[in-house]
Amino acid sequence: MTQPNASAKKTQVIEVLKRDYFPMIPELARNWTANQHEKNRLSRSLAAFVIANLADVTPAQGANSIINGENDNGIDAIYFDRSQNFLWLVQAKAGNAPNMGDNKKFCDGIRDLIEKRFDKFNQGFARLQPDVEAALDINGLKIVGCNVYLEGDLGSHVVNDLNQLTEELNRFSLRFEWRDLNIEQTHSWLTAKQAIAPVDVELTLENWHCLEQPRKAFYGLVKASDLAVLYQQHDKRLFEKNIRYYLGTEDVNSAIAETVREQPSELFYLNNGLTITCSKVELPSGHNQKSTKFTLQGFSVVNGAQTVGAIASVYGANSSISADAKLLVTIIEVGTVTDGIGVKITGARNTQNAVRDVYFAALDPNQERLRQECMVSGVVYHYRPSADRGQDDITIEQAAIALACFSGDTNIVVAAKREVSQLYKREHYYSTLFSNRLSGITLCRYVRIFAYLDGIFAASERAATGRQKMFYRHGRFFILDIFSRRRRNKELLNKSEINLSDSDKNELSQILNDLETLIYNIAESQFASDNKSYLSIFKNLTDVRPLMSRVMQELDQRSNS
């Protein structure tokens, strides 16, 4: 498994720069090569991207801040942030961190700007000069110099020069600071945009009671129709702290819907009710326990997603639900402090009935990080089971299999073949597969490669007969394990592009076809006389390990010949 590296994150940042900023930032009129033009355009786009995120403005406003070009005096972008009283000054490099010479130009440009030596700047600066003059005349202005880059780190000499500039400019008042904006920071802005905002709702409870210690909790009755309206307004966002989304018309959900339609007054007696967690619970003044509209901040149904979804399905079909349909709800105020109580509540409230191990991956913050990273590249990753899934989306089940096959760990590969549920058990292999070193790009690329190669396996199986057909059906994980161990194949696996190029596909096809033939011939020579089934062989470490050894020896001999 590769560590989420700067190359993968750089790839995603560049994707966004080209998509969102290139349309507004054209090439300069220079006699440059195409590569030089793209590098310059990426750096200017990066400066605009940084301004847009620092000042919370639109990409167009970020693009308007660009002065990059000849005689820019070391400053690529300038923006006066009136709301925060900040003057943002940016030097951007879409490659390596600025060296000592680059940084000296930047520091000198900042000095010239503060001393209002505007004649040292280019025509692009003249457009922004009124904003700069207005900023410099304001008391309490904070000037922030930002070095932003996509590779490497700032050298010690650069840091020393920036610290020296800070001391110089802050001799009489604190007016300047500098920021080191590396790939981690720029990429984190991309993932933050994919975070799902907490839901704040109003919900009426009837005949409710309250527990004050050790934390506030309220329990009472809620109308099913009110829950249906909330689902219509917020959809899956109601379940962001749950281990599952609504799964659609499964048997139990159909039964809930039927009760709501046919026996609404029986819903309370036939349903376990809901558990809701909130960061804060507010009650109106003059409230009473007979009926009160609660304001619930950071709302999430942590147990009962299927109930809410089933109720909403009735509401969607009939547009009305009897006022007699009510159920018990428990609301627990968990606060905003990260003490893990919300996760504990979710886990405990979902272990009272049989629940698949894969569902508890939803409680792992790494999964949300991966979802956000995938979304930066437009890939939807579902780590909670959901009925709402697109054709090109990726599920945690697909990810787990792909990650297992390319893990380089035969124990994991055999476990996946023997019982796939072992991949989701914390005490077994889950933490290895979904570690905090795994990047969203790696996850997506592994799944894309697995799907492509699995299609080749399927075609080989259809064309084969007898034992060879069973070899293709049951030996896929093993073959992919061998595939992932070869150095050139690791390079193919760990490219920083999510999608496969035609060149990638041609190379993958050739490699796999050669491996299939080689491994089948070795396996037959080893097991055919015993008449062992391939299903049995590939689920058994005792058989897999010697086969692995023979195959790797043969591949090494071919490489050395």
The predicted structure's pLDDT at residue 353? 43
Residues 191 and 16 sit within 8 Å (Cβ to Cβ):
no
**Cα dihedral value 200, 203, 209, 212, nearest 10:** 10
**What is the distance between the alpha carbons of residues 373 and 393, in angstroms, rounded to a whole number?**
14
Residue 148 has pLDDT above 70, yes or no: yes
The predicted structure's pLDDT at residue 1? 42
Within this chain, do residues 15 and 40 fall inside the same structural domain, yes or no?
Answer: yes
Q: pTM for the whole thing?
A: 0.69
Within this chain, do residues 473 and 489 fall inside the same structural domain, yes or no?
Answer: yes
**What is the distance between the alpha carbons of residues 446 and 380, in angstroms, rounded to a whole number?**
15
The predicted structure's pLDDT at residue 354? 40
| The two structure tokens encoding residue 100 | 């000592």
Within this chain, do residues 207 and 329 fall inside the same structural domain, yes or no?
Answer: yes
Q: What is the DSSP letter of 141?
A: -
Within this chain, do residues 187 and 205 fall inside the same structural domain, yes or no?
Answer: no
What does residue 44 show for φ and ψ, rounded to 5 degrees? -65, -40
DSSP assignments along 389-409, one per residue: --TT-EEHHHHHHHHHHTSS-
Within this chain, do residues 213 and 108 fall inside the same structural domain, yes or no?
Answer: no
pLDDT of 300-346, one tens digit each?
888 888 888 888 888 866 668 899 999 999 988 888 655 465 555 55
What does residue 445 show for φ and ψ, rounded to 5 degrees? -65, -40
| Closest C-alpha to 249, from 361, 350, 387 | 387
Least confident interval from 99-108, 220-229, 246-255, 406-415: 246-255
Within this chain, do residues 330 and 242 fall inside the same structural domain, yes or no?
Answer: yes
**Distant-in-sequence, close-in-space partners of 321: CB < 8 Å, separation ≥ 6:** 223, 224, 225, 228, 260, 264, 311, 314, 315
Within this chain, do residues 345 and 374 fall inside the same structural domain, yes or no?
Answer: no
Residue 252 has pLDDT above 80, yes or no: no
Residues 373 and 379 sit within 8 Å (Cβ to Cβ):
no
For range 124-128, the mean pLDDT: 88
Residue 249 has pLDDT above 60, yes or no: no
For range 467-483, the mean pLDDT: 94
In a domain, 382, yes or no: yes
DSSP assignments along 279-323, one per residue: SEEE--TT--SSEEEEEEEEEEEEE-HHHHHHHHHHHHHHS---T
Final residue in a domain of this structure, among 331, 355, 379: 355
Final residue in a domain of this structure, among 192, 209, 229: 192
In a domain, 360, yes or no: no
Percent pLDDT > 70 in the chain is 90
Q: 440-463 and 365-376 helices cross at what angle (nearest 10)?
A: 80
Residue 217 has pLDDT above 70, yes or no: yes
Exposed / middle / buried, residue 17 (Cβ in 10 Å: 0-12, 13-18, 19+): buried
In a domain, 361, yes or no: no
| The two structure tokens encoding residue 441 | 């790009």
Within this chain, do residues 302 and 344 fall inside the same structural domain, yes or no?
Answer: yes
In a domain, 216, yes or no: yes
- The confidence band for 8, taking pLDDT boundaries of 50, 70 and 90, is confident
User: Which has the higher per-residue pLDDT, 304 or 62?
Assistant: 62
Residue 356 has pLDDT above 60, yes or no: no
The predicted structure's pLDDT at residue 352? 44
Work out the angle at residue 101's Cα, subtended by the Cα atoms of residues 99 and 106, and round it to the nearest 5 degrees.
95
In a domain, 448, yes or no: yes
Strand 142-151 relative to strand 176-181: parallel, antiparallel, unpaired? parallel
| Closest C-alpha to 306, from 352, 244, 396, 228 | 244
Q: Which domain holds residue 281?
A: 199-355
Within this chain, do residues 182 and 203 fall inside the same structural domain, yes or no?
Answer: no
Domain tally, the chain: 3
pLDDT of 171-185, one tens digit each?
988 999 999 999 999
**What is the distance between the alpha carbons of residues 302 and 238, in angstroms, rounded to a whole number?**
9
In a domain, 272, yes or no: yes
Within this chain, do residues 188 and 203 fall inside the same structural domain, yes or no?
Answer: no
Strand 291-303 relative to strand 274-278: parallel, antiparallel, unpaired? antiparallel
Within this chain, do residues 177 and 208 fall inside the same structural domain, yes or no?
Answer: no
Final residue in a domain of this structure, among 168, 192, 216: 192
State in Å, rounded, how far the first CA of the chain is from the last one.
29
pLDDT of 21-59, one tens digit each?
999 999 988 889 999 999 999 999 999 999 999 999 999
Q: What is the mean pLDDT of the chain?
A: 87
pLDDT of 504-551, one tens digit each?
999 999 999 999 999 999 999 988 888 889 999 999 999 999 999 999
What is the CB-side half-sphere exposure of residue 43 using CA atoms within 13 A?
Answer: 24
Least confident interval from 85-89, 251-255, 552-556: 251-255
The predicted structure's pLDDT at residue 346? 53
Within this chain, do residues 345 and 457 fall inside the same structural domain, yes or no?
Answer: no
Residue 355 has pLDDT above 60, yes or no: no
Residue 251 has pLDDT above 70, yes or no: no
In a domain, 127, yes or no: yes
In a domain, 365, yes or no: no
What does residue 307 show for φ and ψ, rounded to 5 degrees? -65, -50
